[in-house]
Amino acid sequence: MGQIELRAVDRIFRIGDTRVHALKAISLSIEAGEYLTVMGPSGSGKSTLLNILGLLDRPDHGEYLLEGREVGTLPPDQQAGVRSRRIGFVFQSFHLVPRLSAADNIALPMMLAGVPARERRRRVAAALAGVGLEDRADHRPQQLSGGQRQRVAIARATIMQPALLLADEPTGNLDRATGAEVTQLLEALNHGGTTLIVVTHDPVMGERARRRLLLDDGGLADDRRR
Amino acid sequence: MSIGDLLRFALQAAAGSPLRTGLMALAMAIGVAAVVVLTALGDGARRYVVNEFNALGSNLVIVLPGRTETGGIGIGNLSASTTRDLTLRDAAALLRADGVVRVAPLVVGDAEVSSGGRLRSSYVVGTTADFARLRRLELAQGRFLPNEGLERAGSWAVIGATIREELFGPRPALGARLRIGDRRFRVIGVLASSGQGLGMNTDELVLVPAASAQAMFDTNTLFRILVEARDRDALARVKSQVANILTARHDGERDVTLLTQDAVVGTFDRILAALTLAVAGIAAISLAVAGILVMNVMLVSVTQRTGEIGLLKALGAAPMVIRRAFLAEAAMLSLAGAAIGECLGFAGAAVLRATFPDLPAYPPSWAVIAGLATALATGMGFGTLPARRAARLDPVQALARGL
Ligand SMILES: Nc1ncnc2c1ncn2[C@@H]1O[C@H](COP(=O)(O)OP(=O)(O)OP(=O)(O)O)[C@@H](O)[C@H]1O
Ligand SMILES: [Mg+2]
């Protein structure tokens, strides 16, 4: 059994009388350490799939097993625990807290998890070095470039050493060169053993992964491995 | 999330939007300041009255003509309807009671007082020599009314400091002649200025022998008889003897009311303490208003920080952590506001004391603590709804709002 098992997962949004079938019977098995890209037209359900994998959203039907345990139906506080320890997020628009410094943004998940301050400082210093931003620890997000912001966000996403890293169009707001740097950073983390799932519109980036999913109108249209 | 981190995080969030924070703290500050100042005022009034009564001496039995039927002693009972006159002979009879040191009858009225062309109206109190010692009156000049027989209508007068100033100015008052109503008196003493006295400022009094005052006001009755017991222990015995003597003298009918200082002070103490509480309650309403403001500002905050809340959830914050973060913010702002309010309140009470030096307007310690506790409770109480709303936000939609 894979690290991630999706079995016939449905996600249906209801707005008034209309029903949007955002995910249709998605079944998927992902091994630990895999590198996947998810592509597909706008509105095909890529973000919805990622949100369900990240426990930010719940399937309406079907099962979601993470590391052998059904997590899709856990109560919110237990899901929060799983998110805290096993899952990291990288967003298209970075989502850094504007009033916090780069170091404090990176420390945020550890603070929420109750990691002692000393340990936090040590790990933040290492993480900043890991993304090449040692000299930007005290900068606010507004004082950083887009690429630097996304690197801070990646440091934050990995500071708890998650087993699963989810990135929704991580290079969508970056120019090609900066985007390539961010991609390399994510791939380096994957080489370290973290499962990496990246939603992208960029065919070049899409082609880099060993496994590529194609969504179309909520259904899994293609699942190719290289 | 540790408590320290929680507080630091809340503090940073509060500092991040100074206007919102300032507004909340200000609302709390005003509420708490109102509680502190108003209770200081109420408690000051209570202490003032109690002090005044205690200044009268605590061994007194006050005899009023007329019998009050109600068991309790309230303000209304002080104006009991007269059934049978209290006379000077009654007063004289009380001196025979065991344990009684002094008896001072009181006849009260007002009259025109004039001397050397200057004229004013004044309270005139007819009494006896014992009144000075009983009320602990100090003399600035001369002496008090002589110790004559109770029924002698001597033509002596003792005047208060203000009366002396207004009628005589720089002229010597001692020995001067004084016209009260249509009678002539000679000034034999001037009271030291005191400014004290409940309902009766001794500075503006003219004191004459009781019999003279009765003749002047054409009456046989007394307004009061003050009886001083040897000490507090003798008070109960004196009271019952006074009752017996007067009942015997009034054909076996108990038609007088006896008050002791204890009862009067106790009554005023209770009434004014209740008033202080009521005033504090009214002030607490402003705290409730502050609480509602806190709730609204917090709701705005939750809306403004929706993206951040979504992010915190994505980073692994359980709903409880989000709830606590917002509650910590509400609690911190309430406490800060309350602390400012206490300072404002104490300053306000100091201004009150400076303005009315007679009023011991100190905020009672219970009100200081209650103000702080109420602020904290309202802040957290009204912060609960916004905090719960934040904790229940859907992370996906919250994140879509951006930071
Ligand atoms: N909260 C929601 N309520 C209603 N419909 C929703 C909601 N979220 C998503 N949808 C719908 O579900 C479908 C899938 O949306 P999703 O965001 O997963 O698409 P996507 O593949 O990520 O698109 P894009 O490439 O534009 O980001 C869309 O039709 C969208 O309108
Ligand atoms: Mg999307």
Tally of domains within chain B: 2
| Domain extent for B293 | 3-53+268-400
Please name the member of A51, A57, A109 whose beta carbon is closest to the beta carbon of B315.
A109
**Who contacts A220 (Cβ-Cβ below 8 Å, separation ≥6)?**
A26, A27, A28, A213, A214
B322 shares contact with chain A (CB less than 8 Å): no
The residues of chain A scoring below 50 in pLDDT are: none
A109 lines ligand 1 (CB under 6 A): no
- Amino acid B143: pLDDT: 93
Q: Are residues B295 and B347 in the same domain?
A: yes
pLDDT bracket for residue B137 (50, 70, 90): confident
Shared domain for B10 and B49, answered yes or no, is yes
pLDDT in tens, B184-236: 999 999 998 875 555 467 888 999 999 999 999 999 889 999 999 887 778 88
For residues B319 and B365, state if they share a domain: yes
The terminus-to-terminus CA distance of chain A in angstroms comes to 21
Domain annotation covers residue B72:
no
Question: Is B70 a residue whose pLDDT tops 90?
Answer: no
| B282 and B372 part of one domain | yes
Residues B245 and B101 in one domain: yes
pLDDT confidence of B53, banded at 50, 70, 90?
confident
- Asked if A109 and B13 come within 8 Å (Cβ–Cβ), the reply is no
Q: Considering B227, B254, B281, which residue would you say is the last residue of a domain?
A: B254
Q: Tell me, what's the pLDDT at B75?
A: 46
Q: Is residue B381 part of a domain?
A: yes
* Residue A175 CB–ligand 1 contact under 6 Å: no
Same domain, B181 and B316: no
Check whether residue B292 and residue B348 sit in a common domain. yes
Q: Looking at the structure, tell me whether residues B250 and B272 fall in a common domain.
A: no
With a pLDDT cut of 70, the percent of chain B lying above it is 93
Residue B55: predicted pLDDT = 65
User: Would you say B331 and B380 are in contact if contact means Cβ atoms under 8 Å apart?
Assistant: yes
Cβ-contact B367, B341 below 8 angstroms: no
Residue B78 has pLDDT above 60, yes or no: no
pLDDT of residue B200: 60
Structural domain includes residue B167: yes
Q: Map A63-89 to HEC letters.
A: EEEECCEECCCCCHHHHHHHHHHHEEE
| CATH homologous superfamily, domain A33-57+74-225 | P-loop containing nucleotide triphosphate hydrolases (3.40.50.300)
Tokens representing B245 are 């003597």
Q: Mind giving me the DSSP string for A97-163?
A: -TTS-HHHHHHHHHHHHT--HHHHHHHHHHHHHHTT-GGGTT--GGGS-HHHHHHHHHHHHHTT--S
State which ligand 1 atom lies nearest to the alpha carbon of A11. Answer: 12
Quote the CA–CA distance of B64 and B157 in Å, as a whole number.
25
**Residue at a domain's end among B254, B287, B311:** B254
- For residue B34, is it within any domain? yes
A92 CA to centre of ligand 1 in angstroms: 15
Using an 8 Å CB-CB cutoff, list chain B residues near A91: 399
Q: Quick check: is B60 in a domain?
A: no
* B89 domain residue, yes or no: yes
Task: State chain B's mean pLDDT as an integer.
Answer: 87
Residue that finishes a domain, picked among B198, B221, B254: B254
Complex confidence, ipTM: 0.94
Task: Give the SS3 label for residue B269.
Answer: helix
Q: What's the pTM value of the predicted model, to 2 decimals?
A: 0.71
For residue A40, give the ligand 1 atom closest to its CA: 21
- Per-residue pLDDT at B80: 47
